[in-house]
């Protein structure tokens, strides 16, 4: 048996999701899965290989070190760093052969100098802030100016102009439409000057909600892992959750009425029952906010967490006659028998999103890649 807890990553589901998303794209539109933050907590290395096998045209990351790690397992596929790079990280991005995002003249000068020093040519994606209000320039003239710089420099190659949506997961499409139109308008101008320049904008929600957002490439993150960008049920979009989180029953004890489980005695037995202790806690990423709220599956049955989530353990009232035994597998995210706990359901009582649930599984939990099918 594994120690404490294990996150299983079904690589067949990951490949299914890639193919499903790719099938929605028009001819020539590229699929660029986003594998930042250790592939949203799924383990970057096996995910990089799986998406490369399943038709990714390019893979995106937030940081240079993430791209460099991916380069060690996929020698040929184009890579893109979406995020801000400190001057000291530029060299790592360049030597990984990754394209880089720019929105600032000082940065593009540094990038050009370092590319020239390495004797390499770096692909440049100019970021246009059409409304996210985070990274990128809001000034369309600056976007064109940066594009000209990239086009003119022998060690830079103008690859794309791109943006990122702020509200793509919301039912009201007005702001998404405004952002999309801003990119489309500037893109038209840019293409008169640079006919080969590509445009990209869509995250998972935008790519699913509106094909007009696809442009030349899409950048789905969360949907690649079979998580629903709208926070409901991934099956609504024919996506399969790739991650499941498991632990096991370490002890089962008889409880008399009045006995309590865990710190602060926030749960007390009001009847004769049995309480299971499970060696997983907030040190593993099972958030303390799930105390007396979260659920787990044991023996195909659903149970509520009883008491406070501690760093290394949770406790569960399994009832007086449940038959739960030491060593039984516990599923915190995933399916057992006919019951399923989705990351979306874990997120809800915490007031957060599925993204944070999988990213929050701590490094103490090993990520084990598996294949539920071949191909
Ligand atoms: C994380 C990220 C994505 C992917 O977003 P999802 O909502 O997970 O699909 C796309 N583009 C950028 C710039 C990102 O930072």
How far away, in angstroms, is 201 Cα from ligand 1 center? Answer: 9
At residue 140, the 3 state secondary structure works out as helix
**Does ligand 1 come within 6 angstroms of the Cβ of 164?**
yes
pLDDT of residue 375: 41
Residues 129 and 68 in one domain: yes
**Does ligand 1 come within 6 angstroms of the Cβ of 82?**
yes
| Residues 166/203, Cβ–Cβ less than 8 Å | no
**Does ligand 1 come within 6 angstroms of the Cβ of 234?**
no
Its domain, for residue 166, covers 11-227
**Does ligand 1 come within 6 angstroms of the Cβ of 221?**
yes
pTM greater than 0.75:
yes
How far away, in angstroms, is 37 Cα from ligand 1 center? Answer: 11
The model's pLDDT over 260-297, given as tens digits with 9 standing for 90+, comes to 999 999 999 999 999 999 999 999 999 999 999 999 99
| Residues 373/13, Cβ–Cβ less than 8 Å | no
> Of the listed 2, 22, 36, 198, which one is catalytic?
36
Residues 247 and 223 in one domain: no
Rounded-to-5 percentages of helix, strand, coil across the chain: 35, 25, 40
Residues 202 and 251 in one domain: no
Residues 61 and 87 in one domain: yes
Q: Which of 164, 192, 227 is the last residue of a domain?
A: 227
pLDDT of residue 372: 84
Q: At how many degrees (to 10) do helices 105-118 and 87-95 cross?
A: 50
How many domains, the chain? 2
Domain of 258, CATH number, reads 2.40.37.10
Q: Which residues pair with 295 in a beta bridge?
A: 304
In a domain, 211, yes or no: yes
Residues 136 and 24 in one domain: yes
Residues 46 and 169 in one domain: yes
In a domain, 360, yes or no: no
Residue showing tokens 């994606």: 125
pLDDT of residue 1: 80
pLDDT of residue 354: 98
- In the structure encoding, which two tokens stand for residue 13, read together? 């589901």
| Residues 286/332, Cβ–Cβ less than 8 Å | yes
As a whole number of angstroms, the distance between CA 276 and CA 317 comes to: 6
**Does ligand 1 come within 6 angstroms of the Cβ of 231?**
no
Q: Would you call 263 a catalytic residue per the annotation?
A: yes
Atom of ligand 1 nearest to the CA of 207: 9
Residue ranges of the chain whose pLDDT lies below 50 = 375
Residues 75 and 207 in one domain: yes
Listed in sequence order, the DSSP H helices in the chain are 11-22, 36-41, 44-53, 64-71, 87-95, 105-118, 140-152, 174-193, 204-209, 343-350, 354-359
| Residues 19/343, Cβ–Cβ less than 8 Å | no
How far away, in angstroms, is 203 Cα from ligand 1 center? Answer: 5
The model's pLDDT over 193-214, given as tens digits with 9 standing for 90+, comes to 999 999 999 999 999 999 999 9
In a domain, 368, yes or no: no
Q: Which protein residue has the closest C-alpha to ligand 1 atom 1?
A: 221
As a whole number of angstroms, the distance between CA 99 and CA 89 comes to: 13
As a whole number of angstroms, the distance between CA 125 and CA 135 comes to: 13
> Of the listed 22, 127, 240, 263, which one is catalytic?
263
Residue 183 sits at the vertex; the CA angle it makes with 177 and 219, to the nearest 5 degrees, is: 85
As a whole number of angstroms, the distance between CA 79 and CA 70 comes to: 9
Residues 186 and 120 in one domain: yes
How far away, in angstroms, is 308 Cα from ligand 1 center? Answer: 34
In a domain, 346, yes or no: no
Residues 215 and 282 in one domain: no
Residues 83 and 43 in one domain: yes
In a domain, 235, yes or no: no
The model's pLDDT over 312-321, given as tens digits with 9 standing for 90+, comes to 999 999 999 9
């Amino acid at each position: 048996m594994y120690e404490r807890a294990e996150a299983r990553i079904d690589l067949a589901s990951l490949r299914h999701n890639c193919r499903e998303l790719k099938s929605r794209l028009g001819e020539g539109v590229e699929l660029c899965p986003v594998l930042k933050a250790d592939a949203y907590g799924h383990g970057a290395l096996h995910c990089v290989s799986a998406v490369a096998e399943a038709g990714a045209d390019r893979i995106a990351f937030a940081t240079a070190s993430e791209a460099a790690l991916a380069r060690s397992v996929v020698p040929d596929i184009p890579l893109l760093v979406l995020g801000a790079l400190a001057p000291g990280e530029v060299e790592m991005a360049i030597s990984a052969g990754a394209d880089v995002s720019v929105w600032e003249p000082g940065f593009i000068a540094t990038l050009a100098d370092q590319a020239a020093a390495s004797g390499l040519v770096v692909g440049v994606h100019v970021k246009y802030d059409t409304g996210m209000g985070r990274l990128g320039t809001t000034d369309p003239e600056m976007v064109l100016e940066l594009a000209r710089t990239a086009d003119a420099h022998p060690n830079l190659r103008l690859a794309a102009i791109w943006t990122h949506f702020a509200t793509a997961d919301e039912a009201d499409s007005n702001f998404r439409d405004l952002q999309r139109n801003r990119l489309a308008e500037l893109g038209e101008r840019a293409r008169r000057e640079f006919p080969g320049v590509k445009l990209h904008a869509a995250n998972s929600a935008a790519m699913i909600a509106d094909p007009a957002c696809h442009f030349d490439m899409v950048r789905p993150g969360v949907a690649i892992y079979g998580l629903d960008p709208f926070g409901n049920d991934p099956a609504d979009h024919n996506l399969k959750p790739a991650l499941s989180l498991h632990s096991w029953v370490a002890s089962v004890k008889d409880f008399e009425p009045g006995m309590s489980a865990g710190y602060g005695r926030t749960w007390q037995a009001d009847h004769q029952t049995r309480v299971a202790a499970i060696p997983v806690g907030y040190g593993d990423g099972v958030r303390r906010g799930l105390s007396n709220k979260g659920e787990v599956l044991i023996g195909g049955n659903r149970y509520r967490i009883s008491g406070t989530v501690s760093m290394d353990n949770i406790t569960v009232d399994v009832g007086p006659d449940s038959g739960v035994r030491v060593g039984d597998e516990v599923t915190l995210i995933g399916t057992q028998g006919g019951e399923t706990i989705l990351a979306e359901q874990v997120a809800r009582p915490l007031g957060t999103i599925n993204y944070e649930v999988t990213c929050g599984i701590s490094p103490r939990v090993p990520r084990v890649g598996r294949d539920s099918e071949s191909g």
